[in-house]
């Protein structure tokens, strides 16, 4: 299959971005990539992607531009910093930011795009490394309907579902709600197991009984081996969960919402980062809370 008229630019080839691109490649799109650490692009280049050395060079060749970057600062630097892509995108090009940021930042990027006669969508994702590998992400989108429709075929190659929540800021708002639940539920689970162990129940019995049962979230099934083997190799780095709960706090403060549970969970991720666990999976907060038992 060949898609001769469309070049997809992709910036940010970490755990998520590198896996998302493979589905576009497999479907014949011409792909131009940039990553701050260039070596991470090698696997994609071996399969035919064109690697360039600045974000601006990606932009000048792109029909659609995707970003999948760590945090708002990374997006700002790549979009508006030296050799940034925003001033290099051809008029009317659609930029789709899949990074987890916060609603006010996303609205700011929409305004920066519009002032340059560009189109913008936020399309953060639900799902982690395994879903990115299998093309089974859920895109939670904010922006104009016509822009969602124009890139829907690309989103549907990388994901199994596209949820258009509303205008700019609304997709990322829902993503933050999801990560509030993900982050707090992991801490609650870790604390529950620690309590059980302190009461004399073995870890094995606790994991077997709780995971997959009616009171724990289904995503824990995919984390069971990590708890059992204490191998917390990252699928979703803990430092980004900490960042996401910081953004939940900022978003809540902007609108005066109360999030006491999220603040407590964020403290645990903060401690984990301080103890050097930031690059492990976010489930390593389990290790933090269980180390004393
Ligand atoms: N992993 C998950 O399960 C998951 C799930 C849903 C959403 N997300 C979100 O998706 C985004 C990417 O996550 P990930 O897991 O793929 O993280 P990752 O593996 O750490 O990749 C982060 C990417 O951002 C780039 N980056 C970081 N700081 C930068 C800067 N200052 N300037 C330019 N580039 C910079 C990194 O470049 P280098 O390679 O040079 O470091 C890399 O390409 C994050 O917003 C995360 O919250 C992740």
Mutation test residue for ligand 1: of 10, 12, 130, the one with most atoms within 8 Å of CB: 12
* Cα 40-42-43 angle, rounded to 5 deg: 100
Stretch (H or E) spanning 197: helix 170-198
Rg (CA), the chain: 20
Protein residues whose CB sits closer than 6 Å to any atom of ligand 1: 12-17, 35-37, 40, 68-71, 73-74, 77-78, 99-100, 125, 128-129, 235-237, 240, 244
In this structure, which residue's CA is closest to atom 7 in ligand 1? Answer: 125
Determine the average pLDDT of the residues in 138-159.
Answer: 98
Q: Is the pLDDT of residue 2 over 90?
A: no
Q: Is the pLDDT of residue 178 over 70?
A: yes
Mutation test residue for ligand 1: of 35, 69, 128, 159, the one with most atoms within 8 Å of CB: 69
pLDDT value, residue 1: 58
pLDDT value, residue 163: 98
| CA dist., res. 180 & res. 208, Å (int) | 25
Q: CATH class for domain 173-290?
A: mainly alpha
- SS3 of residue 34 by DSSP: strand
In this structure, which residue's CA is closest to atom 19 in ligand 1? Answer: 14
- Record the tokens describing residue 20, joined without a space: 């998302």
pLDDT value, residue 5: 84
What distance in angstroms lies between residue 70's CA and the mean position of ligand 1's atoms?
3
Q: CATH class for domain 3-166?
A: alpha beta
- Record the tokens describing residue 40, joined without a space: 């991470």
| CA dist., res. 90 & res. 136, Å (int) | 30
* Cα 246-242-189 angle, rounded to 5 deg: 115
CA atoms lying within 13 Å on the CB side of residue 230? 7
Asked whether the CA dihedral 29, 39, 283, 130 is positive or negative, the reply is positive
pLDDT value, residue 291: 87
Backbone angles phi, psi at 4, to 5 degrees: -65, -25
pLDDT value, residue 102: 96
User: pTM higher than 0.95 for the full model?
Assistant: yes
In this structure, which residue's CA is closest to atom 2 in ligand 1? Answer: 236
What distance in angstroms lies between residue 237's CA and the mean position of ligand 1's atoms?
9
pLDDT in tens, 116-125: 999 999 999 9
- Domain boundaries, given as residue ranges, for the chain: 3-166, 173-290
Determine the average pLDDT of the residues in 66-81.
Answer: 98
């Amino acid at each position: 299959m060949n898609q001769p008229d469309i070049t997809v630019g992709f910036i940010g080839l970490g755990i998520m971005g590198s896996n998302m691109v493979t589905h576009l490649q497999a479907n014949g799109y011409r792909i131009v990539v940039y990553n701050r650490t260039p070596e991470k692009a090698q696997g994609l280049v071996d399969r035919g992607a064109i690697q360039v050395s600045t974000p601006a060079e990606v932009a000048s060749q792109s029909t659609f531009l995707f970003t999948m970057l760590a945090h708002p600062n990374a997006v700002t630097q790549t979009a508006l910093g030296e050799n940034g892509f925003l001033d290099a995108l051809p008029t009317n090009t659609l930029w789709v930011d899949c990074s987890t940021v916060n609603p006010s930042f996303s609205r700011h990027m929409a305004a920066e795009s519009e002032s340059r006669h560009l189109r913008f969508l936020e399309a953060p994702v639900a799902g982690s490394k395994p879903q990115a590998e299998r093309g089974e992400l859920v895109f939670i989108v904010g922006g104009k309907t016509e822009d969602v429709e124009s890139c829907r075929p690309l989103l549907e190659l990388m994901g199994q579902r596209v949820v258009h929540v509303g205008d700019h800021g609304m997709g990322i708002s829902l993503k933050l709600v999801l990560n509030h639940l993900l982050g707090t539920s992991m801490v609650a689970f870790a604390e529950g197991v620690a309590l059980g162990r302190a009461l004399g129940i073995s870890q094995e019995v606790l994991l077997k009984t709780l995971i997959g049962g009616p009171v724990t979230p289904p995503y824990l099934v995919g984390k069971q081996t990590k708890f059992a083997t204490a191998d917390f190799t990252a699928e979703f780095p803990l430092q980004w969960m900490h960042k996401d709960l910081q953004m939940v706090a900022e978003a809540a403060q902007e609108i005066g919402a109360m999030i006491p549970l999220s603040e407590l969970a964020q403290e645990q991720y903060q401690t984990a980062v301080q103890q050097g666990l930031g690059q492990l999976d976010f489930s390593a907060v389990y290790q933090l809370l269980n180390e004393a038992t």
